[in-house]
Chain A
Amino acid sequence: GDSVTQTEGQVALSEEDFLTIHCNYSASGYPALFWYVQYPGEGPQFLFRASRDKEKGSSRGFEATYNKETTSFHLQKASVQESDSAVYYCALGEDTGNYKYVFGAGTRLKVIA
């Protein structure tokens, strides 16, 4: 079945560090790919998406490029801030007649000032 695998556990960085959270997917069709961010006490919030190969999604300084060849959608940010501390989820959505929406397990980002 469809699956999403992302960087496990927690990533700890200092402010202004470069961020990469890896996301790889497995799908039977041609899914849309999403990144969500979750702050404490809140539900996940949509960050951005990409729907086709080589499409770049971006928001709030975060970006990721859909790579069909490597089945990846890695999240990057050039310079993180303490306020970016949150849990980040990669997800895929697919409609091949059988609707699927699959999340990764989440990666906790902790940015130290």
Chain B
Amino acid sequence: DTTVKQNPRYKLARVGKPVNLICSQTMNHDTMYWYQKKPNQAPKLLLFYYDKILNREADTFEKFQSSRPNNSFCSLYIGSAGLEYSAMYLCASSRDRREGFNQDTQYFGPGTRLLVL
């Protein structure tokens, strides 16, 4: 099973409220990633977990939090949503961090579409 699942598929949030998005995979992959995708823009890597080690991009360091309670699950947390957070959020996983960036494929979930009002 090469499926990455994301919940919910659609999320409506109010400005200033928290948002928590969930991702799961059963492939025993070491690395899990979160991307933000806005219309007509490239998917942007926000952060990734290699095993239990979190790596966040410098420009998203303070805007997004994440946790990985076990190998299968990874969450993306926004403490106080702003209008600019409206986007598609894509989760992905790969077998190994080094292979994910240099060699191996990333498996993507279907995404969660977040709309902040």
Which residues of A line the B interface, CB within 8 A? 4, 31-32, 34, 36, 41-46, 49, 51, 89, 93-95, 99-106
Quick check: which of B13-21, B62-70, B74-82, B108-116 contacts chain A, the rest being far away? B108-116
Chain B's nearest CB lies how many Å from the CB of A43? 3
Residues of B at under 8 Å CB distance from A?
A: 4, 33, 35, 40-45, 48, 55, 90, 92, 97-98, 100-103, 105-111
Main secondary structure of the interface of A (DSSP, over half): strand
When distances are taken between beta carbons in the complex, the residues of chain B under 8 Å from A93 are 100-103
Partner of B42, one of A31, A49, A89, A95: A89
Set of chain A residues within 8 Å of B41, measured between Cβ atoms = 105
Can you report 30 A-B residue pairs in the complex whose CB atoms are below 8 A from each other? A31-B102, A32-B101, A32-B102, A36-B108, A42-B108, A42-B110, A43-B90, A43-B92, A43-B108, A44-B43, A44-B106, A46-B107, A49-B103, A89-B42, A94-B101, A94-B102, A99-B48, A99-B97, A100-B101, A101-B33, A101-B45, A101-B101, A101-B106, A102-B45, A103-B42, A104-B42, A105-B40, A105-B41, A105-B42, A106-B42
